[in-house]
């Protein structure tokens, strides 16, 4: 591709699925988190503010399990390719992820180069003081907040019905993008599903790299289908071979 300087990349669950992180699924019209061990939870059970209020121990235990599982997965070729793009691309690059894992950072991307719009598992949010704290252990037994001492920590995850992070900055990046690339997303969860239309509105080219066509494939100039571990390194190689053209 030529004439491209500023790139915005959106990544979804498909980026990390090849590392063994279970994905969000819809079965028979019901939305589930498949934990990969034969257990499944609906959104309403574990991913809403109401669920946290109704059964905090269940919600905390669910996210404790997801956090602990990060110790058993590693970045795949797609994560590493995006880290290489960030290191070598001579134009602008913004990476926005819907994923709450830390595999992009562990692949080599600096923390400040990855915008986790749905939060991150390795962070806790204090409901008492509003502090965000790097967190590795369990929350189910109500450990005190290191900032204020209150036993009010929750997963620093954007639940359904809550406002995603970085929305103003993402809008500004999309307005300035020459190319918008969506990797491994379903195209069904808003507001991220609408980013392609925003990017098109501002004049960006749009590219989808996905295992299957997403719900928003019709909005992309080009869709390439296949595993992220193959598609993303090939795309990065092509971009770096040309370089940013202002």
Name the one residue in this structure whose structure tokens are 């590219």.
207
Half-sphere exposure of 151 (CA within 13 A, CB side): 7
Q: How far out from the chain centre does Cα 16 lie? A: 9
**CA separation (Å) from 115 to 45, 100, 240, 246?**
26, 10, 22, 24
- DSSP per-residue letters across 161-229: TSPPTTHHHHHHHHHT-SEEEEES--S-STTGGGHHHHHHHTT-EEEEEESS--TTGGG-SEEEES-HH
Helix H, strand E, coil C: the string for 112-164 is HHEEECCEEEEEEEECCCCCEEECCCCCCCCCCCCCCCCCCEEEEECCCCCCC
Q: Catalytic site residues?
A: 118
């Amino acid at each position: 591709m030529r004439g491209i300087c500023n790139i915005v990349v959106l990544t979804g669950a498909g980026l990390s699925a090849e590392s063994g992180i279970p994905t969000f699924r819809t079965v028979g019209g019901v939305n589930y988190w498949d934990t990969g061990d034969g257990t499944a939870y609906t959104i309403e059970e574990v991913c809403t503010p109401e669920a946290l209020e109704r059964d905090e121990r269940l919600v905390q235990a669910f996210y404790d399990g997801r956090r602990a599982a990060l110790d058993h997965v590693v970045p795949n070729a797609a994560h590493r390719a995006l880290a290489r793009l960030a290191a070598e691309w001579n134009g602008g690059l913004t990476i926005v992820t819907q994923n709450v894992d830390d595999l992009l950072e562990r692949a080599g991307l600096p923390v400040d180069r990855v915008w986790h719009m749905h939060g991150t598992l390795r962070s806790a949010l204090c409901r008492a003081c509003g502090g965000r704290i790097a967190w590795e252990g369990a929350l189910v037994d109500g450990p005190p907040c290191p900032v204020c001492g209150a036993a009010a920590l929750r997963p620093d995850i954007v639940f359904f019905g809550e406002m995603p992070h970085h929305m103003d900055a993402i809008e500004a990046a999309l307005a300035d993008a020459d190319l918008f690339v969506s990797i491994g997303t379903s195209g069904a969860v808003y507001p991220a599903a609408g980013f392609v239309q925003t990017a098109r509105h501002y004049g960006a080219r749009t590219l989808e790299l996905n295992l299957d066509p997403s719900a928003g494939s019709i909005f992309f100039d080009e869709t390439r289908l296949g595993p992220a571990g193959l598609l993303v390194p090939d795309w990065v190689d092509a971009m770096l071979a040309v370089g940013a053209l202002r």
